[in-house]
Structure 1
């Protein structure tokens, strides 16, 4: 069974109950905590390793974490050195991929941190909502059945004075049936087009003729309408931040790629070669 760094660290931490050596008060990320075969392990190495532990180990006390993480780094460094130059091609390439991936992530992270500011969020909010016209929202109920004949029969009953909510509870096959068919408040674009068109055509209190959608046949009642107020910034903060992040990533990637020379040799490679692990096994 292959052991990952996380399982290796977890096993060591579970055994790390010994007393931790006293540390000087004035420490930095470069403070050396051990030297293994001439290679220094620093407090910075330990901090990064501790931060990568599985969530269940993050709450352990520092005394336990310190010794466990230190033991992990000492042992994995010694094991790494024991390979000498006998490292597989796959491992060397994995190191390359992980290095470029981490650095790419840091580059994007710095760009995002600079872009997602309170000023940028407020500007994005104002652009979307400051001059936006209030949109109409609808509160409607419906009765969903399988056939047009069933829907027509329901409409006749309703025209004759039957209670809409009672019929919905008794006849509707939709999930809103037990609630009298009530769908709550919704805006434009939230319902399938045929249903939305039927709702918009009604006045509050009116009941539609049978309407067919992909879900079946509906009889719809418009309860009331209202003008929706713009949401507060905090209500859409995450959504706006995600949009800014996405735009920032696109812009950074485009800028970097335009400034970087990329050469793609004209070599024909069978796409199935990507599945050939034998090529990197040695």
Structure 2
């Protein structure tokens, strides 16, 4: 077996057969280098952490072979060599860099804590079902409305359009005759849209109206609107199996939110508003 082949097999054995967890121990050294006599090395833990971060970024099935791990090892080694060069130039003594390094350390600790809190969540079928039922609105699809609108420049124009409808003209006919936007050709057809997807004033009027009702006028930046609610979808709760992964993620977020609240309650932080004001000067 060639030396290169042996190194490749060592990487694969060290990384792929060990659970990917953060550790204070470096583990076996996979690559060595030196700058000004100072050693620069890459350990199994370095590569395992890199793989963990890459998988979290959406490459769950990747990095499962020696060929895919060698570029990871090279990337880690390159980063360490560049960091060593930065230290050789005393960049690590720059106050801003020091602050950033502390912040990065905090972020790494929080990331690790988040992972541990999430891993400790009970994800049994019973626990998932209980959370799903208790937070059903969180997983329910948003209410929707199928809508036509008439949009005109002034409130008086909108009232005149309403009078035309009250006099027997269909909403679609009036929209085709008076609309000032591109929906004029389709009789004001806006199709289906979910609650919260339109500007608030328009959205509020639409979702307060019953099916078949003409509502308005309401003003937006486009002009004055009348709306016709043609159909209603109240939203639905999908079967648990279809959203199980989302439920588990919500459970983990909830556990982290509870921990955060407990820590804030315990620490009783005091904010110096005067200092904040000085910061803005």
Do the two structures share a fold, i.e. TM-score over 0.5?
Answer: yes
- Structure 1 stretches lacking a partner, 5+ long: 1-18, 276-282
Match of 2:29 in 1: 32
Decide which of 75, 78, 83 is 1:72's aligned counterpart: 78
String of CA shifts for 1:82-122, please: whole Å, max 9, x gaps: 46x89515244433332222012210222134338364543
Q: Structure 1's 228 and 102: CA in aligned 2 closer, same or farther, altered over 3 A? A: closer
Q: How many residues align?
A: 244
Structure number, greater radius of gyration? 1
TM-score normalized by structure 2? 0.60
**Structure 2 residue matching 1:212: 3-state secondary structure:** strand
Decide which of 101, 106, 109 is 2:107's aligned counterpart: 101
- Is the Cα contact below 8 Å between 1:139 and 1:184 reproduced in 2? yes
Paired with 1:203 and 1:70, the residues of 2 have a C-alpha distance of 60
Match of 2:46 in 1: 45
TM-score normalized by structure 1? 0.60
- Structure 2 stretches lacking a partner, 5+ long: 16-26
Match of 2:148 in 1: 141
1:38-187, aligned counterparts within 5 Å? Answer: 40-49=41-50, 62=68, 65=71, 68-69=74-75, 71-72=77-78, 75-76=81-82, 79=85, 82=88, 87-90=92-95, 91-115=97-121, 117=123, 119=125, 120-129=127-136, 138-174=145-181, 176-185=183-192
- Is the Cα contact below 8 Å between 1:46 and 1:70 reproduced in 2? yes
Higher helix share goes to which structure? Answer: 2
Q: Structure 1's 21 and 235: CA in aligned 2 closer, same or farther, altered over 3 A? A: closer
**Structure 2 residue matching 1:141: 3-state secondary structure:** strand
**Structure 2 residue matching 1:112: 3-state secondary structure:** helix
If asked which structure has higher relative contact order (CA below 8 Å, sep 6+), I would say 1
Paired with 1:187 and 1:71, the residues of 2 have a C-alpha distance of 49
Paired with 1:231 and 1:65, the residues of 2 have a C-alpha distance of 42
